[in-house]
Amino acid sequence: MSGEGDQVPVKTSGPEPTPGMGPFSDTLRRLRETFRSGRTKEAEFRISQLEALGRFLEEKKTLLQEALAEDLGKFTKLNSGFIRKEPLGLVLIISPWNYPINLTLVPLVGALAAGNCVVLKPSEQSQSTEKVLAEVLPQYLDQSCFAVVRAGPQETEHLLENKFDYIFFTGSPRVGKLIMAAAAKHLTPVTLELGGKNPCYVDDDCDPQTVANRVVFFRYLNAGQTCVAPDYVLCSRETQERLLPAMQSAITQFYGEDPKASPDLGRIINQKHFKRLQGLLRCGRVAIGGQSDETERYIAPTVLVDVQETEPVMQEEIFGPILPLVTVRGLDEAVDFITRREKPLALYAFSNNSQVVDQVLECSSSGSFGGNEGFTFLTLPSLPFGGIGHSGMGRYHGKFSFDTFSHYRACMIAYPGLEKLHELRYPPYSEKRKNFITWSLNSQSCTIL
Ligand code: NAD
């Protein structure tokens, strides 16, 4: 819920809705338009609607009771009870190559903590880690409830023909769709931890060197192969001119005059991704870096300027040490740019003015958000981590992992005796019984009805 006194204009992110079809199209269009206007996000609006719903239930109680009696011949019954968190059963965890230990073991902790049996499918791209996970990890765990499967795309498709009770997938949106389609055949629920393009807005009111240090650090960590890394910067042309020397300075300070010789700069996972990234270097104009060496799968920390929205570097997730700067006229244009696209996994805003950071947060939607900071949010176990829309569904980390791998079973257990009291709920419904039932429901603590 928004904080008190929010004054910022509200917009809602998401791609333009596709026109509806059929007899419900007008209704759906009307509701989508209202959602996009941002009205439903205002706290006052939400409170007013819940109060109106309460008034409806209070004022039309008799009407509703009559309708229920006509339709079903009964009164609704509510009971108090308890939630039993139970393991889901046999779960499949599929992980990517970019943080091959973390992205395999962190979900595994949640699955085991909740009491599930697990099939682990690490990425075949990070072969050495895959080998250790397949050959050594099982020696530490009870193999009657745990297995590691070594499989490429084709074998994984076969694996997915089997029924699992839950699938936890981390990887690309493209494969995420295949996973969800395979899961749907068995009605298996999924968590999809996907990727995409994470925008980073830099306001004119900022200290360029501070912003450059933070953006450079989080962009080029792991050679840019991080799902939550800032994928592109949105800023004014003036801020771009101030940022470029500051970024060059940060790159030199972190990785030296010759970044290729730095032990702190990673390499690209394989030849295929190296070639893809080399292709992206041809977009726009190289302002910093741009060098590459195929023998080492090295790509220098690179900043591109003058890129067009239609160029590949602005169409696909970069997932490498390349950062395009895209110029906008100001905050409104930046927010518009962001909200016209798919909802990202992470969104960043840098400004000395906290209202600007708040406004980017308020006017957008993303899996997570960093204000004047990179992706340190994912180091806090108290925060959930996950995407929204095109960047995924579901969440984990800390207690959220346990909850993800648990079923919340709603339970009601009645006392076997006291039947005289229970009889009060049975038909035929005299006035006295109806009054008792009404009183019980209103008291909100009824465990009889
Ligand atoms: P990927 O989707 O290619 O592969 C992920 C996993 O799926 C691997 O284990 C792979 O073997 C398997 N796979 C590949 N093709 C398959 C198929 N046809 N059928 C079934 N399984 C298949 O992703 P990747 O290249 O390993 O990782 C990069 C992607 O992952 C990026 O998009 C990145 O943003 C995303 N990612 C997301 C997160 C997150 O937490 N949201 C974290 C890391 C990476």
Which residues have C-beta within 8 Å of that of residue 5, sequence separation ≥ 6? none
Determine which residue's CA is closest to atom 6 belonging to ligand 1: 96
Nearest to 202 by CA among 241, 228, 251, 249: 241
**363 tagged catalytic:** no
Query: In the predicted model, what is the mean pLDDT of residues 404-412?
Result: 93
**42 tagged catalytic:** no
pLDDT band at 10 (very low <50, low <70, confident <90, very high): very low
Share of the chain above pLDDT 70, in %: 92
Give tens-digit pLDDT for 340-399.
999 999 999 999 999 999 999 999 999 999 999 999 999 999 999 999 999 999 999 999
Share of the chain residues as helix, strand and coil, in percent rounded to the nearest 5: 45, 15, 40
Question: Are 349 and 360 within 8 A, CB to CB?
Answer: yes
Report whether pLDDT(8) > 90.
Answer: no
Nearest to 337 by CA among 208, 218, 232: 232
Give tens-digit pLDDT for 45-84.
888 888 888 888 889 888 887 887 788 775 744 455 789 9
Pocket of ligand 1 (CB under 6 A): 94-98, 103, 121, 123-125, 152-153, 156-157, 170-172, 175, 178, 193-195, 227, 317, 319, 345, 387, 392
Computed over every residue of the chain, the mean pLDDT equals 90
Question: Are 228 and 386 within 8 A, CB to CB?
Answer: no
Prediction pTM value: 0.86
What's the CA-to-centroid distance between 122 and ligand 1, angstroms? 10
Question: Are 326 and 287 within 8 A, CB to CB?
Answer: no
Ligand 1 pocket test, candidate residues 94, 162, 164, 172, most atoms within 8 A of CB: 172
What's the CA-to-centroid distance between 333 and ligand 1, angstroms? 32
Q: Considering 117, 200, 206, 227, which one is annotated as catalytic?
A: 227
Ligand 1 pocket test, candidate residues 92, 108, 123, 178, most atoms within 8 A of CB: 123
Give tens-digit pLDDT for 302-312.
999 999 999 99
User: What is the spatial distance between Cα 184 and Cα 179, in angstroms, rounded to a whole number?
Assistant: 9
Q: What's the pLDDT score for residue 41?
A: 81
